[in-house]
Amino acid sequence: MGMFDDKSYKQGLDIGRRVAIGSVIASAAVLAILGMTVAMNKKPSHNNTGFNPYAKATEESTEFTEDPNGRTSDELSFWNMYDEEEEEEIVVKDEKKSSPSNNKADKIRESASVKTPEDDKSKNPSKWLNVSPEGAEPEYVAVNSAVPKNDLSPDGFSYENENKLVYSRGGRNVSHFGIDVSKYNGTISWNGVKKEGVEYALLRVGARGYSSGKVVLDENFAANLAGCKENGIDVGIYFFSQAINENEAVEEANYCVAALGGTAIRYPVIFDSEKVVNDSYRTENLSSTELTNIFKAFAQTVKAYGYTPMIAGTKEQLAKKFDLMEISDYDVWLLDTGETSTYPYRYAIRQYSDKGKIKGINGDVNCDICFIAYSEK
């Protein structure tokens, strides 16, 4: 057992008193600082309920004020009182949300940068074709990259006179001027037509009724055929088809050949496929596969007789109702009026006007431009 040391005891007691006094002073200082902080940040009270830490936060109590010195005690995070960068970021975001001018500017920028599908399609003619007539609501179909395209330049077209559209390459006219007629053009003076520089005429042989299905002969066909032959105007013929199966297509082809009666013609025998406006018609519900096979049956029959087959239609009818890849080996007569056409695929003849004026024909007549020298075949 050790001996009790009075001196050491007194020294230890003195140290203990100093530690205790220091602790009391330090605690008082901390409490004073906290009290001052709360007092400086305390928000004037509008009621006597006081702050309830368990009460549900209101929208007002969760918003930060822009002035950090004006925050209330319930806005402060005790453990993160000095996150100034984070607070500034929140304020900036809130300002953008609440500023009407910024919102308006954002809307203007968004509306200018966001394009509708129609905008995209109209600016991509190599990928999208507007098949609607001029002035009508646009309707776009995808361009088939596998189908052969025409190489016609819009700059190559020009009018030689009021009626005659020509196409030139290297300053030389490489096109041929023609018309297409039916009984609706009345009795024609083909001598006068020849003097107008018409090189060829596409004559309607007949038509199948779009509701009855009955095949009828164009009553002026024989006279028109004879008039062209007498005046040295090359001939092609067309039949307005409403065939709903391959057998009917063969019937129509045979009808065309029979109407010619052995007459040699240089221009094609044409399968004319068009939709009927404002009425129901026999072929309107046929699929593109069905209608494509119907044309091919017509074409093969015509070809067997030694004539050149051709298909006619508007760009809408051709692009929507036929498998263009399946018929890409056949010549096309495009019915699309205007100086130029947006139809991207290859075609041999185009009806560019239905308001032509030709001496020898009363009223308007359809005018055509051809890019193949059928007369030399």
Model confidence pLDDT, tens digit, residues 257-284: 999 999 999 999 999 999 999 999 999 9
Q: Quote the pLDDT of residue 308.
A: 98
Report pLDDT digits (tens) over 130-170. Answer: 999 888 899 999 999 999 999 999 999 999 999 999 999 99
Q: Evaluate if residue 288 carries a pLDDT over 70.
A: yes
Q: Evaluate if residue 200 carries a pLDDT over 70.
A: yes
Q: Quote the pLDDT of residue 364.
A: 98
> How many Å apart are CA 348 and CA 344, to the nearest integer?
12
Residues in contact with 322: Cβ distance below 8 Å, sequence separation at least 6, in sequence order = 273, 288, 291, 292, 295, 311, 313
Burial class (CB in 10 A: 0-12, 13-18, 19+), 130: buried
Strand order across the 172-173 sheet:
157-159, 165-169, 172-173
Q: Return the higher-pLDDT residue of 120 and 305.
A: 305
> How many Å apart are CA 65 and CA 87, to the nearest integer?
10
Render 238-279 in DSSP notation, one character per residue. Answer: EEE----SHHHHHHHHHHHHHHHTT---SSPEEEE--PPTTS
Q: Quote the pLDDT of residue 45.
A: 40
Each domain of the chain, given as residue ranges in start order, spans 6-44+56-111, 115-145, 149-376
> How many Å apart are CA 75 and CA 65, to the nearest integer?
9
Instruction: Classify 149-376 by CATH class.
Output: alpha beta
In 42-186, which ranges are continuous DSSP H helix?
Answer: 84-98, 100-113, 117-122
Render 53-73 in DSSP notation, one character per residue. Answer: TTSPPPTTTTPPPS-GGG--G
Q: How confident is the model at residue 121 (pLDDT cuts 50, 70, 90)?
A: confident
Which helix (H) or strand (E) segment is 369 a member of?
Answer: strand 365-370
Q: Evaluate if residue 97 carries a pLDDT over 70.
A: no
Q: Evaluate if residue 237 carries a pLDDT over 50.
A: yes
Which of 15-19, 207-211, 311-315 is least confident? Answer: 15-19
Q: Quote the pLDDT of residue 123.
A: 81
